[in-house]
Amino acid sequence: MLSKTMQDAINEQIKNELYSAYLYLSMSAHFDEKNLPGFAKWLRVQFEEEQGHALKFYDYIIERGGRVALQAIPQPPSEWASDLAAFQQVLQHEQHVTALIHKLYETALAEKDYAAQFMLQWFINEQVEEEKNASEIVAQLELIEARGTAVLMLDHRLGKRGGED
């Protein structure tokens, strides 16, 4: 059985994951509007991943006999000053999510919830990948901004995410 403390913390994380999805969908729409379909596609795939993360937490609560209590999701921003600013926000957001996952893990430790600790290891590893991907894109956009070229090449590369092209 899931403790109330752990259940409440995971329900909060479901909201956080759904906000992440909502943020990335907003960013995808922003890039679609700017006619950068590769950027939009990359962010849409990110949106879908975040929805999957929320469902992993949702399913975990159900599997442990807990109660899912969905919470209101704040409205995300819809405009960014530049492509770089948008992806800097992606990186900052992923760093924030990493801190939230670490806090959730600390709660699992305090609750001596070994099953939750095991489940959260997947998310800890996932966040390493998420931060790495965002960092690489920010670094590339910083190079592009410094030289003023190649944004369309990066857009094309990002559009190949998901292997459909």
Per domain, the residue ranges of the chain are 4-159
pTM for this predicted structure: 0.89
Q: 38-71, pLDDT tens digit by residue?
A: 999 999 999 999 999 999 999 999 999 999 999 9
Cα–Cα distance between 157 and 165 in angstroms, integer?
10
Percentage with pLDDT > 90 across the chain: 84
54's enclosing H/E stretch is helix 37-63
Length of the chain: 165
Q: Please report how the helices 83-110 and 114-147 are oriented relative to each other, as an axis angle in degrees rounded to 10.
A: 160
Pick the CATH number of 4-159 from 1.20.1250.20, 1.20.1260.10, 1.10.10.10, 1.10.1060.10: 1.20.1260.10
For residue 165, what pLDDT is reported? Answer: 47
Q: 92-112, pLDDT tens digit by residue?
A: 999 999 999 999 999 999 999
Q: 115-159, pLDDT tens digit by residue?
A: 999 999 999 999 999 999 999 999 989 988 877 667 767 777 888
What is the phi/psi pair of residue 161, to 5°?
A: -60, 135
Cα–Cα distance between 125 and 37 in angstroms, integer?
29
